[in-house]
Amino acid sequence: MDSGLIQLDQGSGGRAMHELIDSLFVNAFNNPLLAERNDSAVFEIRGARLAMTTDSYVVDPIFFPGGNIGSLAVHGTVNDLAMRGAKPLYITAGFILEEGLDFGDLKKIVLSMAEAARQAGVQVIAGDTKVVPRGKADKLFINTSGIGIVPEGIHIGGQNACPGDLVFINGTIGDHGMAVLCKREGLAFENEIESDAAALNGLVDLMLESFAGIHVLRDPTRGGVATTLNEIAEQSGVGIRLFEEALPVREDVIGACEVLGLDPLYVANEGKVLAIVPAQGAGAVLSAMKSHPLGRASCLIGEIVSDDPGRVFLRTRIGGHRLVDMLRGEQLPRIC
Ligand code: MG
């Protein structure tokens, strides 16, 4: 693409966004760390291995069941560090505020950021504040950076999946996306769907203590489990088989997805980790996951294979195989 206008689906987390990132940003900034396309970049400075990441939050509405734009900003940034096995240390936060934003709302959001940071064991050590005229932004956007330190012997990245590895997840899929969407659209179901947004660094610590040789960790945010596994399949040059009957989805999320014509496999999560683990560590990692409050419902959902490199297939309940592509088009704008 050499001209034209930016479209919503170029921020979807799916195929169009990856094409934009590869054709423009990775090319222009052209360096090996960025080209790895991992959740954060890991590099060495004077013998210490550091992980660094950045993220922006534009979720609408700014308050949703289970969180708000502030707690989400901390959780998402901590998680992108944890997905490289890093111990998150420091975060920065830039605030773009719309003229007319309610001060009480801003205060609530900042206090919940502070609480989320305290719980995750990170400090917000630098920030920036801008205010733009009414209508030039929507209430509040937040941009963050995060930095952490990677312990010795930990080598986690999307390029490391190997045939024979097993794929685990720490609980139900699609909760965050459906919580935000139902709130935004004013859809009421019997029980309110709550976002799963949470900091995963404590869970990841336990997993790595149980087995340091985990190959891949990634949080299936925009584009959902389907898109995230496609990224990993492409990065590692392997095939991935998902087991349909094993995919954990809450009944109310299934119901809401049916009403809205969505597939939970493509709906965003903010407190989930996909773990790709060599068979010899699988039992230890799964029991470590189950021993943590954020991993009680952890389960095996798939396996890495050498057939069909770069592709993800779903083994259906009746034994068929269906190709699971990356998200195409824009399913749920402003979900995070
Ligand atoms: Mg991520």
**Considering 96, 117, 149, which residue would you say is the last residue of a domain?**
149
Distance (Å) from CA 53 to ligand 1 centroid: 9
Please count the CA atoms within 13 angstroms of the CA of 67 that sit on its side-chain side: 31
Asked if the structure places residue 1 within a domain, the reply is no
CB within 8 A of 88, min separation 6: which ones?
Answer: 77, 78, 81, 82, 120, 121, 122, 146, 147, 148, 201
Render 295-317 in DSSP notation, one character per residue.
GTT-EEEEEEESSSTT-EEEE-T
CB within 8 A of 191, min separation 6: which ones?
Answer: 252
193 and 302 assigned to the same domain:
yes
Distance (Å) from CA 209 to ligand 1 centroid: 21
CA dihedral (100, 105, 110, 112) in degrees, to 10, reads -160
pLDDT of residue 284: 98
46 and 96 assigned to the same domain:
yes
Distance (Å) from CA 221 to ligand 1 centroid: 6
Distance (Å) from CA 335 to ligand 1 centroid: 14
Asked if the structure places residue 230 within a domain, the reply is yes
Distance (Å) from CA 255 to ligand 1 centroid: 27
Distance (Å) from CA 257 to ligand 1 centroid: 23
186 and 121 assigned to the same domain:
no
139 and 203 assigned to the same domain:
no
Distance (Å) from CA 190 to ligand 1 centroid: 31
287 and 180 assigned to the same domain:
yes
Asked if the structure places residue 158 within a domain, the reply is no
pLDDT of residue 330: 76
60 and 175 assigned to the same domain:
no
pLDDT of residue 187: 86
Residues of the chain with pLDDT below 70 are: 1
Distance (Å) from CA 332 to ligand 1 centroid: 17
Query: Is 208:275 a contact under the CB 8 Å cutoff?
Result: no
| Side chain identity at residue 95, one-letter code | F
pLDDT of residue 242: 98
Distance (Å) from CA 234 to ligand 1 centroid: 16
Distance (Å) from CA 34 to ligand 1 centroid: 14
15 and 128 assigned to the same domain:
yes
182 and 282 assigned to the same domain:
yes
Distance (Å) from CA 100 to ligand 1 centroid: 32
**Considering 124, 149, 174, which residue would you say is the last residue of a domain?**
149
80 and 118 assigned to the same domain:
yes
181 and 298 assigned to the same domain:
yes
**Residue 32: domain span:** 8-149
How many domains does the chain divide into? Answer: 2
How far, in Å, CA of 108 to CA of 121, rounded? 20
Asked if the structure places residue 334 within a domain, the reply is no
Asked if the structure places residue 303 within a domain, the reply is yes
**Considering 120, 149, 178, which residue would you say is the last residue of a domain?**
149
Please report, for the domain that includes residue 174, its CATH number: 3.90.650.10
134 and 14 assigned to the same domain:
yes
Q: What is the pTM of this model?
A: 0.97
Distance (Å) from CA 90 to ligand 1 centroid: 17
Distance (Å) from CA 283 to ligand 1 centroid: 25
Distance (Å) from CA 191 to ligand 1 centroid: 28
Strands annotated E in the chain:
41-45, 48-57, 63-64, 67-68, 87-98, 123-132, 140-149, 166-169, 216-218, 239-243, 274-277, 299-305, 312-315, 321-323
Please report, for the domain that includes residue 62, its CATH number: 3.30.1330.10
How far, in Å, CA of 315 to CA of 318, rounded? 8
Distance (Å) from CA 133 to ligand 1 centroid: 31
Distance (Å) from CA 243 to ligand 1 centroid: 23
197 and 315 assigned to the same domain:
yes
How far, in Å, CA of 221 to CA of 177, rounded? 9
pLDDT of residue 1: 63
Asked if the structure places residue 105 within a domain, the reply is yes
Residue reference for tokens 């899929």: 173
Asked if the structure places residue 211 within a domain, the reply is yes
